[in-house]
Structure 1
Amino acid sequence: MNALSQNIFPELAARMGKEALSRRLILQVEHSATLYGKGNGHVHLENLEGFTRFVGSVLKLSGMAERGKRNSLKFRTEKNTIELPELPSSFNGFKILHLSDIHIDGFTDNGAALISLVKSLKYDLCVLTGDYRFLTHNTYEKSSIGMERLIENIHCPQGIYAILGNHDFIEQVPALEKAGAKVLLNEHTLIEKKGEQLFLAGVDDPHFYGSHDLERALQSRHNKTTTILLSHSPELFAEAAQSDVDLYLCGHTHGGQICLPGEIPLITHAACPRRITAGRWEYGKMIGYTSRGAGCSGVTARFNCPPEATIHTLRKANSEDSTGDGA
Protein backbone atom coordinates (compact mmCIF):
# COMPACT_ATOMS: atom_id res chain seq x y z
CA MET A 1 0.00 0.00 0.00
CA ASN A 2 1.45 3.34 -1.07
CA ALA A 3 0.12 5.94 1.34
CA LEU A 4 1.27 8.84 -0.82
CA SER A 5 -0.56 7.53 -3.89
CA GLN A 6 -3.75 7.41 -1.86
CA ASN A 7 -3.15 10.98 -0.68
CA ILE A 8 -4.11 10.13 2.88
CA PHE A 9 -2.28 12.97 4.63
CA PRO A 10 -4.83 15.79 4.10
CA GLU A 11 -7.52 13.58 5.59
CA LEU A 12 -5.31 12.58 8.52
CA ALA A 13 -4.42 16.23 9.18
CA ALA A 14 -8.10 17.10 9.30
CA ARG A 15 -8.74 14.29 11.75
CA MET A 16 -5.83 14.57 14.19
CA GLY A 17 -4.71 18.16 13.69
CA LYS A 18 -2.01 19.53 11.38
CA GLU A 19 0.52 20.16 14.15
CA ALA A 20 0.16 16.66 15.55
CA LEU A 21 0.52 15.04 12.13
CA SER A 22 3.53 17.20 11.27
CA ARG A 23 5.25 16.34 14.54
CA ARG A 24 4.65 12.63 14.03
CA LEU A 25 5.92 12.61 10.43
CA ILE A 26 9.06 14.56 11.32
CA LEU A 27 9.89 12.16 14.14
CA GLN A 28 9.18 9.13 11.97
CA VAL A 29 11.76 10.36 9.47
CA GLU A 30 14.28 11.38 12.15
CA HIS A 31 13.94 8.05 13.95
CA SER A 32 14.58 6.06 10.77
CA ALA A 33 17.54 8.32 9.89
CA THR A 34 19.08 7.87 13.32
CA LEU A 35 18.80 4.08 13.16
CA TYR A 36 20.61 4.10 9.83
CA GLY A 37 23.41 6.37 10.99
CA LYS A 38 22.06 9.81 10.19
CA GLY A 39 20.10 12.49 11.93
CA ASN A 40 19.69 13.50 15.55
CA GLY A 41 16.48 11.60 16.31
CA HIS A 42 15.01 11.44 19.69
CA VAL A 43 15.67 7.81 20.52
CA HIS A 44 14.34 5.95 23.54
CA LEU A 45 15.97 2.89 25.04
CA GLU A 46 13.35 0.52 23.62
CA ASN A 47 14.20 1.81 20.12
CA LEU A 48 17.88 0.90 20.34
CA GLU A 49 18.64 -2.30 18.45
CA GLY A 50 21.95 -2.68 20.29
CA PHE A 51 20.11 -2.86 23.60
CA THR A 52 17.64 -5.50 22.41
CA ARG A 53 20.44 -7.56 20.84
CA PHE A 54 22.27 -7.46 24.18
CA VAL A 55 19.19 -8.73 26.04
CA GLY A 56 18.69 -11.47 23.45
CA SER A 57 22.32 -12.55 23.76
CA VAL A 58 22.09 -12.73 27.56
CA LEU A 59 19.02 -14.97 27.31
CA LYS A 60 20.71 -17.28 24.84
CA LEU A 61 23.92 -17.55 26.87
CA SER A 62 21.92 -18.27 30.03
CA GLY A 63 19.89 -20.98 28.31
CA MET A 64 16.64 -19.09 29.00
CA ALA A 65 15.75 -18.02 25.46
CA GLU A 66 13.48 -20.97 24.61
CA ARG A 67 11.68 -20.75 27.92
CA GLY A 68 11.10 -17.07 27.33
CA LYS A 69 9.59 -17.83 23.92
CA ARG A 70 7.24 -20.42 25.41
CA ASN A 71 6.18 -17.94 28.09
CA SER A 72 5.34 -15.39 25.39
CA LEU A 73 2.39 -17.54 24.28
CA LYS A 74 1.02 -18.37 27.75
CA PHE A 75 -1.81 -15.83 27.71
CA ARG A 76 -3.72 -14.85 30.81
CA THR A 77 -7.28 -13.56 30.56
CA GLU A 78 -7.60 -10.76 33.09
CA LYS A 79 -11.09 -9.90 34.37
CA ASN A 80 -11.50 -6.38 35.71
CA THR A 81 -14.77 -5.02 37.08
CA ILE A 82 -15.02 -1.23 37.00
CA GLU A 83 -17.66 0.67 38.95
CA LEU A 84 -18.55 4.08 37.55
CA PRO A 85 -21.05 6.37 39.35
CA GLU A 86 -22.46 8.06 36.22
CA LEU A 87 -22.56 4.94 34.04
CA PRO A 88 -25.84 4.83 32.06
CA SER A 89 -28.04 1.95 33.17
CA SER A 90 -28.03 0.39 29.70
CA PHE A 91 -24.28 -0.19 30.01
CA ASN A 92 -24.43 -1.99 33.35
CA GLY A 93 -22.57 -5.24 32.66
CA PHE A 94 -21.07 -3.95 29.40
CA LYS A 95 -17.89 -5.85 28.50
CA ILE A 96 -14.81 -4.41 26.77
CA LEU A 97 -12.04 -6.55 25.33
CA HIS A 98 -8.77 -4.65 25.73
CA LEU A 99 -5.71 -5.70 23.71
CA SER A 100 -2.49 -3.72 23.74
CA ASP A 101 1.05 -4.00 22.39
CA ILE A 102 0.20 -6.87 20.08
CA HIS A 103 3.40 -6.66 18.00
CA ILE A 104 1.78 -9.32 15.88
CA ASP A 105 4.68 -9.92 13.48
CA GLY A 106 6.83 -10.94 16.45
CA PHE A 107 4.76 -13.98 17.48
CA THR A 108 6.44 -17.35 17.00
CA ASP A 109 3.04 -18.86 16.04
CA ASN A 110 1.94 -15.97 13.77
CA GLY A 111 -0.69 -14.98 16.33
CA ALA A 112 -2.62 -18.28 16.34
CA ALA A 113 -2.85 -18.54 20.15
CA LEU A 114 -4.09 -14.95 20.53
CA ILE A 115 -6.67 -15.41 17.78
CA SER A 116 -7.92 -18.60 19.43
CA LEU A 117 -8.24 -16.76 22.74
CA VAL A 118 -10.20 -13.76 21.46
CA LYS A 119 -12.59 -16.10 19.61
CA SER A 120 -13.36 -17.86 22.90
CA LEU A 121 -14.29 -14.71 24.82
CA LYS A 122 -17.55 -12.76 24.92
CA TYR A 123 -17.53 -8.96 24.86
CA ASP A 124 -19.56 -6.02 23.57
CA LEU A 125 -16.73 -3.75 22.39
CA CYS A 126 -13.04 -4.19 21.56
CA VAL A 127 -10.32 -1.56 22.05
CA LEU A 128 -6.73 -1.81 20.79
CA THR A 129 -4.29 0.53 22.51
CA GLY A 130 -1.40 0.59 20.05
CA ASP A 131 1.85 -1.06 18.95
CA TYR A 132 0.94 -3.51 16.21
CA ARG A 133 4.44 -3.86 14.74
CA PHE A 134 7.38 -5.65 16.38
CA LEU A 135 10.05 -3.13 15.36
CA THR A 136 9.83 0.68 15.55
CA HIS A 137 11.02 1.02 11.95
CA ASN A 138 11.29 -0.89 8.67
CA THR A 139 8.34 -2.38 6.77
CA TYR A 140 4.89 -2.66 8.36
CA GLU A 141 3.43 -4.92 5.66
CA LYS A 142 3.72 -8.13 7.70
CA SER A 143 2.19 -6.40 10.70
CA SER A 144 -0.73 -5.14 8.60
CA ILE A 145 -1.41 -8.64 7.27
CA GLY A 146 -1.28 -10.09 10.77
CA MET A 147 -3.58 -7.42 12.19
CA GLU A 148 -6.08 -8.01 9.40
CA ARG A 149 -6.14 -11.70 10.32
CA LEU A 150 -6.64 -10.88 14.02
CA ILE A 151 -9.31 -8.23 13.47
CA GLU A 152 -11.40 -10.48 11.24
CA ASN A 153 -11.62 -12.87 14.21
CA ILE A 154 -12.81 -10.23 16.69
CA HIS A 155 -16.60 -10.27 16.82
CA CYS A 156 -18.57 -7.83 18.96
CA PRO A 157 -21.77 -5.80 18.41
CA GLN A 158 -20.30 -2.37 19.26
CA GLY A 159 -17.25 -2.57 16.99
CA ILE A 160 -13.47 -2.30 17.25
CA TYR A 161 -11.65 0.94 18.06
CA ALA A 162 -7.89 1.50 17.98
CA ILE A 163 -5.16 4.05 18.56
CA LEU A 164 -1.54 4.14 17.43
CA GLY A 165 1.53 3.53 19.58
CA ASN A 166 5.20 4.41 19.33
CA HIS A 167 5.90 1.37 17.09
CA ASP A 168 3.23 2.38 14.57
CA PHE A 169 3.66 4.67 11.58
CA ILE A 170 0.75 6.91 10.64
CA GLU A 171 0.68 5.21 7.23
CA GLN A 172 -0.72 2.08 8.90
CA VAL A 173 -4.08 3.75 9.55
CA PRO A 174 -5.71 2.85 6.19
CA ALA A 175 -4.83 -0.84 6.55
CA LEU A 176 -6.20 -1.00 10.11
CA GLU A 177 -9.42 0.72 9.08
CA LYS A 178 -9.82 -1.42 5.98
CA ALA A 179 -9.51 -4.49 8.23
CA GLY A 180 -12.38 -3.21 10.38
CA ALA A 181 -10.87 -1.22 13.27
CA LYS A 182 -11.76 2.46 13.51
CA VAL A 183 -8.61 4.38 14.48
CA LEU A 184 -9.13 7.34 16.81
CA LEU A 185 -6.58 10.04 15.97
CA ASN A 186 -7.18 12.62 18.70
CA GLU A 187 -10.84 11.87 18.00
CA HIS A 188 -13.89 10.48 19.73
CA THR A 189 -16.95 8.41 19.03
CA LEU A 190 -20.21 7.75 20.87
CA ILE A 191 -21.08 4.20 21.86
CA GLU A 192 -24.87 3.97 21.94
CA LYS A 193 -27.17 1.48 23.59
CA LYS A 194 -30.90 1.83 24.17
CA GLY A 195 -30.75 5.60 23.71
CA GLU A 196 -27.87 6.09 26.16
CA GLN A 197 -24.23 6.85 25.39
CA LEU A 198 -20.62 6.37 26.38
CA PHE A 199 -18.01 8.87 25.17
CA LEU A 200 -15.00 6.98 23.80
CA ALA A 201 -11.94 9.11 22.98
CA GLY A 202 -8.51 8.17 21.65
CA VAL A 203 -5.28 10.15 21.49
CA ASP A 204 -2.23 9.61 19.32
CA ASP A 205 1.00 8.37 20.92
CA PRO A 206 2.11 10.58 23.85
CA HIS A 207 5.28 8.62 24.64
CA PHE A 208 7.64 8.95 21.66
CA TYR A 209 5.83 11.09 19.11
CA GLY A 210 4.09 13.46 21.53
CA SER A 211 1.37 13.89 18.91
CA HIS A 212 -1.50 13.54 21.35
CA ASP A 213 -4.14 16.26 21.67
CA LEU A 214 -6.43 15.48 24.57
CA GLU A 215 -8.43 18.69 24.23
CA ARG A 216 -9.21 17.88 20.59
CA ALA A 217 -10.16 14.30 21.47
CA LEU A 218 -12.59 15.44 24.16
CA GLN A 219 -14.19 18.32 22.27
CA SER A 220 -18.00 18.43 22.09
CA ARG A 221 -18.35 16.15 25.11
CA HIS A 222 -21.45 16.79 27.18
CA ASN A 223 -21.17 17.23 30.94
CA LYS A 224 -21.38 14.03 33.00
CA THR A 225 -21.14 11.76 29.97
CA THR A 226 -19.16 8.72 31.09
CA THR A 227 -15.81 9.07 29.34
CA ILE A 228 -13.34 6.35 28.39
CA LEU A 229 -9.93 7.41 27.09
CA LEU A 230 -7.60 5.25 25.01
CA SER A 231 -3.96 6.27 25.25
CA HIS A 232 -1.00 4.15 24.27
CA SER A 233 0.96 5.03 27.42
CA PRO A 234 -0.16 5.81 30.99
CA GLU A 235 1.88 9.03 30.86
CA LEU A 236 -1.17 11.29 30.35
CA PHE A 237 -2.73 10.19 33.63
CA ALA A 238 -2.70 13.56 35.41
CA GLU A 239 -3.94 15.54 32.40
CA ALA A 240 -6.70 13.00 31.78
CA ALA A 241 -7.88 13.07 35.40
CA GLN A 242 -7.98 16.85 35.31
CA SER A 243 -10.14 16.60 32.19
CA ASP A 244 -12.72 14.45 34.02
CA VAL A 245 -11.94 11.19 32.25
CA ASP A 246 -13.65 8.32 34.08
CA LEU A 247 -11.70 5.35 32.69
CA TYR A 248 -8.20 5.41 31.22
CA LEU A 249 -7.13 2.34 29.19
CA CYS A 250 -3.53 2.02 28.03
CA GLY A 251 -0.50 -0.23 27.64
CA HIS A 252 3.02 0.40 26.31
CA THR A 253 4.97 -0.82 29.36
CA HIS A 254 4.44 -4.58 28.77
CA GLY A 255 4.39 -4.67 32.56
CA GLY A 256 8.16 -4.82 32.21
CA GLN A 257 8.00 -7.97 30.01
CA ILE A 258 11.10 -9.43 31.72
CA CYS A 259 10.47 -9.15 35.45
CA LEU A 260 11.83 -10.39 38.73
CA PRO A 261 9.72 -12.88 40.72
CA GLY A 262 6.56 -11.17 41.94
CA GLU A 263 6.15 -9.40 38.58
CA ILE A 264 8.62 -6.69 39.60
CA PRO A 265 9.70 -4.91 36.39
CA LEU A 266 13.31 -4.09 35.64
CA ILE A 267 12.38 -1.43 33.07
CA THR A 268 8.97 0.11 32.29
CA HIS A 269 9.85 2.65 29.54
CA ALA A 270 7.31 5.16 30.86
CA ALA A 271 7.74 8.50 32.62
CA CYS A 272 5.16 7.93 35.32
CA PRO A 273 4.87 6.34 38.78
CA ARG A 274 5.61 2.61 38.77
CA ARG A 275 2.32 1.86 40.50
CA ILE A 276 0.44 2.74 37.29
CA THR A 277 2.63 0.80 34.87
CA ALA A 278 0.77 -2.52 35.16
CA GLY A 279 -2.76 -3.57 36.00
CA ARG A 280 -5.48 -1.55 37.66
CA TRP A 281 -4.83 1.78 39.34
CA GLU A 282 -6.60 4.95 40.44
CA TYR A 283 -5.69 8.61 40.29
CA GLY A 284 -8.11 11.01 41.91
CA LYS A 285 -11.59 9.98 40.76
CA MET A 286 -10.26 8.35 37.59
CA ILE A 287 -9.81 4.60 37.26
CA GLY A 288 -7.01 3.37 35.02
CA TYR A 289 -5.76 0.10 33.63
CA THR A 290 -2.36 -0.53 32.07
CA SER A 291 -2.24 -3.75 30.09
CA ARG A 292 0.88 -5.93 30.25
CA GLY A 293 0.34 -6.38 26.52
CA ALA A 294 -0.32 -9.36 24.31
CA GLY A 295 2.97 -9.42 22.41
CA CYS A 296 6.67 -8.82 22.96
CA SER A 297 8.91 -5.95 21.97
CA GLY A 298 12.57 -6.18 21.03
CA VAL A 299 13.01 -9.75 22.30
CA THR A 300 10.42 -12.51 21.97
CA ALA A 301 10.49 -13.52 25.61
CA ARG A 302 8.59 -13.03 28.84
CA PHE A 303 9.50 -13.85 32.42
CA ASN A 304 7.27 -13.39 35.49
CA CYS A 305 4.99 -11.23 33.34
CA PRO A 306 2.48 -13.19 31.24
CA PRO A 307 0.92 -11.69 28.13
CA GLU A 308 -2.71 -10.75 28.57
CA ALA A 309 -6.09 -10.12 27.06
CA THR A 310 -8.33 -8.14 29.39
CA ILE A 311 -12.09 -8.11 29.81
CA HIS A 312 -13.28 -4.93 31.54
CA THR A 313 -16.84 -5.22 32.84
CA LEU A 314 -18.53 -1.87 33.49
CA ARG A 315 -20.87 -1.63 36.44
CA LYS A 316 -22.94 1.26 37.69
CA ALA A 317 -21.69 2.09 41.17
CA ASN A 318 -24.14 1.22 43.93
CA SER A 319 -26.37 -0.74 41.56
CA GLU A 320 -27.95 -3.93 42.91
CA ASP A 321 -25.89 -6.12 40.56
CA SER A 322 -22.60 -4.24 40.87
CA THR A 323 -20.74 -7.31 42.09
CA GLY A 324 -19.06 -9.96 39.98
CA ASP A 325 -15.78 -10.56 38.28
CA GLY A 326 -16.65 -9.84 34.66
CA ALA A 327 -16.83 -12.23 31.75
Structure 2
Amino acid sequence: MNSIPNTKIVEIIVENEKLNDLKILHLSDLHINKKTSKKEILDLVNHCNNLEFDFCVITGDIIDTKVKFITEQLKILNTLNSEVFYISGNHDLFYGLEDLKKELTNFIFMDNETFKINYKNEIIHLAGLPDRFSKFFKIKRDEKKIESYLKNSPSIFISHQPKDYKIATNSDSNLFLCGHTHGGQIFPFHYLVRLVQPFLAGLFYRKNTAIYVNKGLGYWGVNFRYKADAEITILKLITKSVK
Protein backbone atom coordinates (compact mmCIF):
# COMPACT_ATOMS: atom_id res chain seq x y z
CA MET A 1 0.00 0.00 0.00
CA ASN A 2 1.50 3.32 -1.05
CA SER A 3 -0.55 6.43 -1.86
CA ILE A 4 -4.29 6.33 -1.25
CA PRO A 5 -6.23 5.91 -4.53
CA ASN A 6 -9.18 8.10 -5.39
CA THR A 7 -12.47 6.70 -4.18
CA LYS A 8 -14.46 4.97 -6.87
CA ILE A 9 -18.26 5.05 -6.74
CA VAL A 10 -19.94 2.06 -8.35
CA GLU A 11 -23.69 1.91 -8.85
CA ILE A 12 -25.09 -1.58 -8.45
CA ILE A 13 -28.56 -2.56 -9.59
CA VAL A 14 -30.45 -4.72 -7.10
CA GLU A 15 -34.01 -6.02 -7.13
CA ASN A 16 -34.96 -5.47 -3.50
CA GLU A 17 -36.31 -1.96 -2.92
CA LYS A 18 -35.28 -2.11 0.76
CA LEU A 19 -31.66 -1.76 -0.39
CA ASN A 20 -32.23 1.32 -2.48
CA ASP A 21 -29.61 4.05 -1.91
CA LEU A 22 -27.60 1.91 0.54
CA LYS A 23 -23.92 2.88 0.40
CA ILE A 24 -21.22 0.37 1.37
CA LEU A 25 -17.54 1.19 1.70
CA HIS A 26 -15.79 -1.89 0.30
CA LEU A 27 -12.12 -2.45 1.15
CA SER A 28 -10.12 -5.60 0.52
CA ASP A 29 -6.64 -7.10 0.53
CA LEU A 30 -4.80 -4.45 2.51
CA HIS A 31 -1.84 -6.85 3.02
CA ILE A 32 -0.41 -4.82 5.90
CA ASN A 33 3.19 -5.95 6.44
CA LYS A 34 6.44 -4.83 8.09
CA LYS A 35 7.02 -2.26 5.37
CA THR A 36 3.58 -0.67 5.75
CA SER A 37 4.08 2.59 7.63
CA LYS A 38 1.76 3.92 10.31
CA LYS A 39 1.30 7.01 8.13
CA GLU A 40 -0.05 4.91 5.27
CA ILE A 41 -2.71 3.40 7.53
CA LEU A 42 -3.48 6.75 9.13
CA ASP A 43 -3.93 8.31 5.67
CA LEU A 44 -6.27 5.46 4.73
CA VAL A 45 -8.34 5.81 7.90
CA ASN A 46 -8.58 9.59 7.60
CA HIS A 47 -9.60 9.27 3.97
CA CYS A 48 -12.31 6.71 4.74
CA ASN A 49 -13.59 8.60 7.77
CA ASN A 50 -14.32 11.58 5.51
CA LEU A 51 -16.45 9.54 3.10
CA GLU A 52 -20.23 9.16 3.26
CA PHE A 53 -21.48 5.58 3.53
CA ASP A 54 -23.68 3.42 5.74
CA PHE A 55 -21.18 0.74 6.79
CA CYS A 56 -17.86 -0.75 5.74
CA VAL A 57 -16.95 -4.26 4.60
CA ILE A 58 -13.39 -5.63 4.41
CA THR A 59 -13.26 -8.84 2.39
CA GLY A 60 -10.11 -10.47 3.75
CA ASP A 61 -6.31 -10.42 3.66
CA ILE A 62 -5.89 -7.53 6.07
CA ILE A 63 -2.44 -8.75 7.13
CA ASP A 64 0.62 -10.11 5.36
CA THR A 65 2.91 -10.69 8.35
CA LYS A 66 2.56 -11.76 11.97
CA VAL A 67 0.42 -9.40 14.01
CA LYS A 68 3.19 -8.72 16.56
CA PHE A 69 5.10 -6.77 13.90
CA ILE A 70 2.19 -4.47 12.95
CA THR A 71 0.22 -3.86 16.16
CA GLU A 72 0.52 -0.07 15.87
CA GLN A 73 -0.77 -0.12 12.29
CA LEU A 74 -3.73 -2.29 13.31
CA LYS A 75 -4.56 0.00 16.22
CA ILE A 76 -4.84 2.85 13.73
CA LEU A 77 -6.96 0.77 11.35
CA ASN A 78 -9.24 -0.01 14.29
CA THR A 79 -10.20 3.69 14.46
CA LEU A 80 -12.38 3.60 11.35
CA ASN A 81 -15.42 5.40 12.69
CA SER A 82 -18.22 3.29 11.24
CA GLU A 83 -19.47 -0.25 11.60
CA VAL A 84 -16.83 -2.43 9.95
CA PHE A 85 -17.56 -6.05 9.05
CA TYR A 86 -14.68 -8.31 8.03
CA ILE A 87 -13.95 -11.90 7.11
CA SER A 88 -10.76 -13.95 6.88
CA GLY A 89 -8.56 -14.19 3.84
CA ASN A 90 -5.96 -16.85 3.20
CA HIS A 91 -3.15 -14.56 4.39
CA ASP A 92 -5.00 -13.73 7.62
CA LEU A 93 -5.29 -17.46 8.32
CA PHE A 94 -1.64 -18.09 7.58
CA TYR A 95 -0.24 -15.22 9.68
CA GLY A 96 -2.59 -15.50 12.64
CA LEU A 97 -6.31 -14.86 12.52
CA GLU A 98 -6.83 -15.15 16.29
CA ASP A 99 -4.15 -12.53 16.94
CA LEU A 100 -5.75 -10.28 14.31
CA LYS A 101 -9.16 -10.57 15.98
CA LYS A 102 -7.63 -9.50 19.30
CA GLU A 103 -6.43 -6.24 17.73
CA LEU A 104 -9.53 -5.37 15.71
CA THR A 105 -11.79 -5.00 18.73
CA ASN A 106 -13.95 -2.31 17.12
CA PHE A 107 -14.69 -4.44 14.05
CA ILE A 108 -17.33 -7.16 13.64
CA PHE A 109 -15.88 -10.54 12.67
CA MET A 110 -18.15 -12.40 10.22
CA ASP A 111 -16.61 -15.85 9.62
CA ASN A 112 -19.59 -18.26 9.86
CA GLU A 113 -21.55 -15.41 11.40
CA THR A 114 -24.79 -13.58 10.64
CA PHE A 115 -25.81 -10.04 11.47
CA LYS A 116 -28.93 -7.91 11.13
CA ILE A 117 -28.31 -4.35 9.99
CA ASN A 118 -31.00 -1.74 10.53
CA TYR A 119 -31.24 0.48 7.46
CA LYS A 120 -34.08 3.03 7.22
CA ASN A 121 -36.14 0.92 9.65
CA GLU A 122 -35.66 -2.17 7.51
CA ILE A 123 -33.51 -5.22 8.25
CA ILE A 124 -30.63 -6.22 5.97
CA HIS A 125 -29.28 -9.72 6.55
CA LEU A 126 -25.49 -9.92 6.36
CA ALA A 127 -23.53 -13.19 6.47
CA GLY A 128 -19.91 -14.24 5.96
CA LEU A 129 -17.75 -17.32 5.53
CA PRO A 130 -14.11 -18.10 6.34
CA ASP A 131 -11.73 -18.26 3.41
CA ARG A 132 -11.68 -21.49 1.42
CA PHE A 133 -8.19 -22.25 2.80
CA SER A 134 -9.70 -22.54 6.29
CA LYS A 135 -9.88 -26.33 5.97
CA PHE A 136 -6.08 -26.43 6.19
CA PHE A 137 -6.37 -24.66 9.56
CA LYS A 138 -9.06 -27.02 10.88
CA ILE A 139 -11.70 -24.31 10.65
CA LYS A 140 -15.10 -25.43 9.40
CA ARG A 141 -17.03 -23.45 6.83
CA ASP A 142 -20.69 -23.64 7.84
CA GLU A 143 -22.08 -23.20 4.33
CA LYS A 144 -25.51 -24.67 5.13
CA LYS A 145 -26.04 -22.20 7.96
CA ILE A 146 -24.99 -19.25 5.81
CA GLU A 147 -27.02 -20.30 2.76
CA SER A 148 -30.12 -20.74 4.91
CA TYR A 149 -29.68 -17.31 6.48
CA LEU A 150 -29.09 -15.57 3.14
CA LYS A 151 -32.52 -16.70 1.95
CA ASN A 152 -33.91 -14.00 4.23
CA SER A 153 -34.55 -10.94 2.13
CA PRO A 154 -32.77 -8.63 1.58
CA SER A 155 -29.35 -10.19 2.12
CA ILE A 156 -25.65 -9.55 1.49
CA PHE A 157 -22.96 -12.22 1.50
CA ILE A 158 -19.25 -11.53 2.07
CA SER A 159 -16.36 -13.92 1.48
CA HIS A 160 -12.76 -13.63 0.35
CA GLN A 161 -12.67 -15.48 -2.95
CA PRO A 162 -14.91 -15.04 -6.02
CA LYS A 163 -15.25 -18.84 -6.13
CA ASP A 164 -17.86 -18.59 -3.38
CA TYR A 165 -20.36 -16.76 -5.58
CA LYS A 166 -22.60 -19.83 -5.99
CA ILE A 167 -23.43 -19.71 -2.29
CA ALA A 168 -24.95 -16.29 -2.97
CA THR A 169 -26.75 -17.27 -6.17
CA ASN A 170 -28.10 -20.50 -4.69
CA SER A 171 -29.59 -18.46 -1.84
CA ASP A 172 -30.93 -15.66 -4.04
CA SER A 173 -28.82 -13.24 -2.05
CA ASN A 174 -28.97 -9.72 -3.45
CA LEU A 175 -25.26 -8.95 -3.26
CA PHE A 176 -21.97 -10.84 -2.98
CA LEU A 177 -18.76 -8.97 -2.09
CA CYS A 178 -15.26 -10.45 -2.33
CA GLY A 179 -11.63 -9.71 -3.22
CA HIS A 180 -8.55 -11.95 -3.36
CA THR A 181 -7.66 -11.53 -7.05
CA HIS A 182 -5.96 -8.10 -6.87
CA GLY A 183 -7.43 -7.72 -10.34
CA GLY A 184 -4.46 -9.76 -11.55
CA GLN A 185 -2.07 -7.16 -9.99
CA ILE A 186 0.42 -7.27 -12.88
CA PHE A 187 -0.71 -7.77 -16.46
CA PRO A 188 -0.61 -10.37 -18.08
CA PHE A 189 -1.08 -12.40 -14.86
CA HIS A 190 -4.75 -11.48 -15.23
CA TYR A 191 -5.09 -14.51 -17.52
CA LEU A 192 -3.61 -16.87 -14.92
CA VAL A 193 -6.02 -15.60 -12.26
CA ARG A 194 -8.95 -16.20 -14.60
CA LEU A 195 -7.92 -19.84 -14.91
CA VAL A 196 -8.65 -20.40 -11.21
CA GLN A 197 -11.30 -17.75 -10.42
CA PRO A 198 -14.67 -17.15 -12.11
CA PHE A 199 -14.27 -13.35 -11.99
CA LEU A 200 -11.24 -11.07 -12.10
CA ALA A 201 -12.46 -7.66 -10.94
CA GLY A 202 -15.46 -5.39 -11.01
CA LEU A 203 -19.21 -5.87 -11.26
CA PHE A 204 -21.08 -8.93 -12.51
CA TYR A 205 -24.62 -10.31 -12.35
CA ARG A 206 -25.60 -13.95 -11.98
CA LYS A 207 -29.24 -14.95 -11.53
CA ASN A 208 -30.66 -12.53 -8.94
CA THR A 209 -27.29 -11.70 -7.40
CA ALA A 210 -25.00 -8.74 -8.04
CA ILE A 211 -21.32 -9.63 -7.56
CA TYR A 212 -18.52 -7.19 -6.88
CA VAL A 213 -14.84 -8.22 -6.89
CA ASN A 214 -12.60 -5.61 -5.30
CA LYS A 215 -9.01 -5.29 -6.62
CA GLY A 216 -7.76 -4.45 -3.14
CA LEU A 217 -5.32 -1.91 -1.74
CA GLY A 218 -2.15 -3.89 -1.06
CA TYR A 219 0.28 -6.03 -2.94
CA TRP A 220 1.24 -9.67 -2.97
CA GLY A 221 4.84 -10.66 -3.67
CA VAL A 222 6.19 -7.52 -5.34
CA ASN A 223 5.26 -3.92 -4.53
CA PHE A 224 3.95 -3.21 -8.00
CA ARG A 225 0.71 -3.11 -9.99
CA TYR A 226 0.17 -2.84 -13.74
CA LYS A 227 -3.28 -2.52 -15.34
CA ALA A 228 -4.84 -3.40 -11.98
CA ASP A 229 -5.04 -0.21 -9.94
CA ALA A 230 -5.61 -0.35 -6.19
CA GLU A 231 -9.11 0.68 -5.18
CA ILE A 232 -11.26 2.14 -2.45
CA THR A 233 -14.86 1.71 -3.50
CA ILE A 234 -18.24 2.94 -2.39
CA LEU A 235 -20.96 0.68 -3.70
CA LYS A 236 -24.26 2.51 -4.15
CA LEU A 237 -27.23 0.16 -4.47
CA ILE A 238 -30.06 1.15 -6.78
CA THR A 239 -33.37 -0.64 -7.14
CA LYS A 240 -34.19 -1.53 -10.73
CA SER A 241 -34.85 -4.67 -12.69
CA VAL A 242 -31.61 -6.54 -13.31
CA LYS A 243 -30.93 -6.67 -17.03
Contact 1:188 / 1:218 at 8 angstroms: preserved in 2? no
Report the secondary structure of 1:268's partner residue.
helix
Shift of 1:84: 1.6
Shift of 1:144: 4.2
Q: Which residue is equivalent to 2:154?
A: 226
Shift of 1:92: 2.4
Describe how 1:20-31 pairs up with structure 2 within 5 A.
Answer: none
Shift of 1:131: 0.6
Shift of 1:281: 1.1
In 2, Cα distance between equivalents of 1:92 and 1:241: 20
Contact 1:176 / 1:182 at 8 angstroms: preserved in 2? no
Describe how 1:154-303 pairs up with structure 2 within 5 A.
Answer: 154-156=80-82, 159-168=83-92, 169-178=96-105, 180-206=106-132, 208-210=133-135, 211-220=140-149, 223=152, 225-260=153-188, 265-268=190-193, 271-273=196-198, 276-303=199-226
2:24 alignment partner AA:
I
Distance change (3 Å), C-alpha of 1:297 and 1:84:
same
Distance change (3 Å), C-alpha of 1:269 and 1:147:
farther
Aligned length: 232
- 1:97-134 Cα shifts (integer Å, max 9, x gaps): 01000112243554344234213311110011111112
Q: Which residue is equivalent to 1:101?
A: 29
Report the secondary structure of 1:149's partner residue.
helix
Aligned alpha-carbon RMSD (Å): 2.4
Contact 2:16 / 2:174 at 8 angstroms: preserved in 1? no
Describe how 1:58-137 pairs up with structure 2 within 5 A.
Answer: 72-73=2-3, 75-88=5-18, 91-105=19-33, 106-107=35-36, 110-135=40-65
Report the secondary structure of 1:255's partner residue.
helix
Shift of 1:176: 4.3
Shift of 1:248: 0.5
Shift of 1:243: 1.9
Shift of 1:202: 0.7
Shift of 1:246: 1.4
Contact 2:194 / 2:200 at 8 angstroms: preserved in 1? no
Shift of 1:293: 0.3
Could you say which structure has the larger radius of gyration? 1
Report the secondary structure of 1:102's partner residue.
coil
Q: Which structure exhibits the higher relative contact order, with contacts defined as CA atoms closer than 8 Å and separated by 6 or more residues?
A: 2
Q: Which residue is equivalent to 2:237?
A: 314
Identity %: 30
What is the TM-score normalised by the length of structure 2?
A: 0.85
Shift of 1:74: 5.3
Distance change (3 Å), C-alpha of 1:220 and 1:227:
closer
In 2, Cα distance between equivalents of 1:266 and 1:220: 34
Shift of 1:314: 1.5
5+ unaligned residues in a row in structure 2: which ranges?
Answer: none
Match of 1:147 among 64, 74, 78: 74
Contact 2:86 / 2:110 at 8 angstroms: preserved in 1? yes
2:68 alignment partner AA:
E
In 2, Cα distance between equivalents of 1:272 and 1:253: 8
In 2, Cα distance between equivalents of 1:243 and 1:200: 13
In 2, Cα distance between equivalents of 1:144 and 1:290: 28
What is the TM-score normalised by the length of structure 1?
A: 0.64
Shift of 1:220: 4.6
